[in-house]
A and B are shown apart, each in its own frame.
Chain A
Amino acid sequence: MEQSFPTIGSAPPPSLGARLTSAEAQGATQELARLGAGLGLAALYGLALGARTGGVSLVQHALAASAGLAAVGVLGIPALFVLLALVDAPVSPGAMLSAGARSLASAGFVLAGLAPSAALLAVTIESPDAVAFVTRAGLTLAGGIGLVQLTSSVRTMLKDLPAERRLKCNALLFGFSLFAIMLAGRVWYTLPILKGAL
């Protein structure tokens, strides 16, 4: 059965989630603002984790949670653009900025949504291992959604390519995905709550 869902245009005004995850490309300033909003929202998840011990830990976790996404945005997405351009994929800096901002904003938004539950679990569960597991699950969920958003946006740009070039681009996307997972994981593992310190 065909179902109708409110889209960005049909539900005035669109929700924050709809604006952050919209596939519609905007100007560079708006995209940077979207990216910044995503990183800020990701910090809420860090704050929730830091509530386990409070104090400086709040800031440490907030910074580290955002830094994982920021690292992918700063180190990974420009590199992906260069590699895709090398195989003559029809990508532009603006389109890549839009795709990257959308994916990081989505991941940040999901982390912010998980923050209330994460705060409850981080504060009330005694076992450090169980809290670390919950933390990893939240980061994996948000990171996974962000990565899906990015790859689907890029694949949309590649849909008119000949099969051979599209295969090369998909291979690059796959490699980028692995790199992004490792990079975000590397940064996120600096979270004190994952190092067994708490």
Chain B
Amino acid sequence: MNSQVFAAFDELLRSPRAIAARSRGGGDLRPLFVASLSALVLGAGVFGATLATSRGGLQLLYSGVKLPLAMVVTMLLVVPAFHAIAAGLGRPLSFSGMIGLTLAAAGRGALVLVALSPLIWLSFDRGLSYHPGVLLAAACYALAGLAALDLVLRGVGLDARGLLIVSLFAGVLFAAGGQTAWMFRPFLGRPSAVSVPFFRARESSFWDAVQQSSLSSFGVYRVTRALSEAEGRVRSTQSEPAVEHSSESR
């Protein structure tokens, strides 16, 4: 079993085609499950902890735990959608095969995140500020996501229908994964924050956060709704001094 797990681990990186064929073919997928889940937990944990080096302290532990958790929860949410979309578009794979394929893709993506961790660490160490750091992390997620979707595409078939299935699945994954990660935030933690919470209170949504970070990285700050309501009015974003909610973090 151990040798099979190590072989599957190696295949995750070197041979996505073999992983895809194994998922499609059925059979004993346990070594693949174990290898993929290990890669996911280890890879996402390392990347999460690296992100937290911008804040340090307890945030390192929290982010190292929360990022793998967010990815596993996302997998649980999106696998049924993937299975249904593929079946609806004429590629009915077995449910266990779908789980294997999705888990393997997530594990592969997590390994890409590990490879990108030194870049993240160096960037923060060289003084990368908070909002550009958020965008750099998002770019890393995008790269990892592409590596993962490549494996998924091989699993459902490298043709127009396969591309359509993967595109629709990617849309679901983006929405569900983004919102899940948003619920599990903060991963970086604001340097100015006094305490390090494990979870933030529910507010806004992932999409709002993406918009706000994009604007903030260019020096345009928006006041969050909580602050706006407290002041009873909405401030103009550019004509007045930049104000942002002190507890906002990702």
Chain A positions near chain B (C-beta within 8 angstroms) = 1, 3-6, 8, 11, 14-18, 20-21, 106-107, 109-117, 120-121, 124-127, 130, 134, 137, 141-142, 145-146, 148-149
* Nearest chain B CB to A127 CB, angstrom units: 6
Give the chain A neighbours of B179 by CB distance below 8 A.
120-121, 124-125
Main SS of chain B's interface residues?
helix
Across-interface contacts of B183 in A (CB, < 8 A): 124
Do the beta carbons of B77 and A117 come within 8 Å of each other?
A: yes
Q: Does A3 contact B205, Cβ atoms closer than 8 Å?
A: no
**B92: A residues at CB distance < 8 A:** 6, 8, 14-15, 17-18, 21
Decide: A6 and B26 in contact? CB cutoff 8 A.
Answer: yes
The residue of chain B having its C-beta at the shortest distance from the C-beta of A7 within the complex is B92
Query: CB of B128 within 8 A of chain A?
Result: no
Question: Measured between alpha carbons, how far is A8 from B92 in the docked complex, in Å?
Answer: 8
In the complex, what distance in Å separates the CA atom of A17 from the CA atom of B81? 11
Smallest Cβ distance from A120 to chain B, in angstroms?
A: 6
Find out whether the CB atom of B172 lies under 8 angstroms from the CB atom of A3. no
- Partner of A5 from the list B24, B78, B182 (CB cut-off 8 Å) is B24
> Can you list 19 contacts pairing A with B, beta carbon distance less than 8 Å?
A5-B24, A6-B93, A8-B92, A11-B26, A15-B94, A17-B84, A21-B88, A107-B88, A109-B87, A110-B88, A114-B84, A115-B80, A116-B81, A124-B183, A125-B179, A126-B205, A127-B208, A141-B85, A149-B88
Q: Which residues of B contact A21 (CB under 8 A)?
A: 87-88, 90, 92
Chain A residues whose CB sits within 8 angstroms of the CB of B182 once the complex forms: 124
Q: A1-B158, A17-B83, A113-B84 are in contact. List 4 more A-B contacts (CB 8 A).
A: A6-B97, A114-B80, A124-B179, A142-B88
Q: Which of A6, A17, A126 has the most CB of B within 10 A?
A: A17
B56-92 interface code vs A (CB 8 A; 1 in, 0 out): 0000000000000000000011101111111111111
Max chain A CB contacts within 10 Å: which of B82, B92, B95? B92
Check A117–B95 contact: CB distance below 8 A.
Answer: no
Q: Is the CB of B82 within 8 A of A113?
A: yes
Asked whether any CB of chain A lies closer than 8 Å to the CB of B204, the reply is yes
Q: CA–CA, A196 to B168, complex, Å?
A: 26
A46 to chain B, nearest CB (A): 15
4 nearest A-B pairs in the assembled complex, by CB-CB distance: A113-B84, A17-B87, A18-B92, A117-B176
Residues of A within 8 A of B86 (CB): 17
**Main SS at interface, chain A:** helix
B237 CB to nearest chain A CB (Å):
19
Does B202 lie at the interface of the complex (its beta carbon under 8 Å from any beta carbon of A)? yes
Contacts of A113 in B (CB 8 A): 80-85
Smallest CB gap from B204: residue in A: A126
Q: Which residues of A contact B158 (CB under 8 A)?
A: 1, 3
Whether the Cβ atoms of A3 and B157 lie closer than 8 Å is yes
By beta carbon, the residue of chain A nearest B78 is: A117
Query: In the bound complex, do residue B202 and residue A117 qualify as a contact, i.e. CB atoms below 8 Å apart?
Result: no
Q: B87 is contacted by which of A18, A120, A124, A134 (Cβ under 8 Å)?
A: A18
Q: Which of B200-214 contact A (CB under 8 A)?
A: 202-205, 207-208
CB distance from A14 to the nearest CB of B (A): 7
Whether, in the assembled complex, B54 has its beta carbon less than 8 Å from a beta carbon of chain A, the answer is no
**B154: nearest chain-A partner, CB-CB:** A3
With contacts A15-B87, A18-B87 taken as known, whether A5 is within 8 angstroms of B93 at the C-beta atoms is yes
Is B122 in contact with chain A by the CB < 8 A criterion? no
Q: Does B180 contact A (CB under 8 A)?
A: yes
Determine the distance from Cα of A120 to Cα of B87 in the docked complex, in whole angstroms: 23
CB of A117 within 8 A of CB of B172, answer yes
CB contact under 8 A between A109 and B203, given known A5-B157, A121-B175:
no
B204 to chain A, nearest CB (A): 6
Quick check: B180 and A5 within 8 Å, CB to CB? no
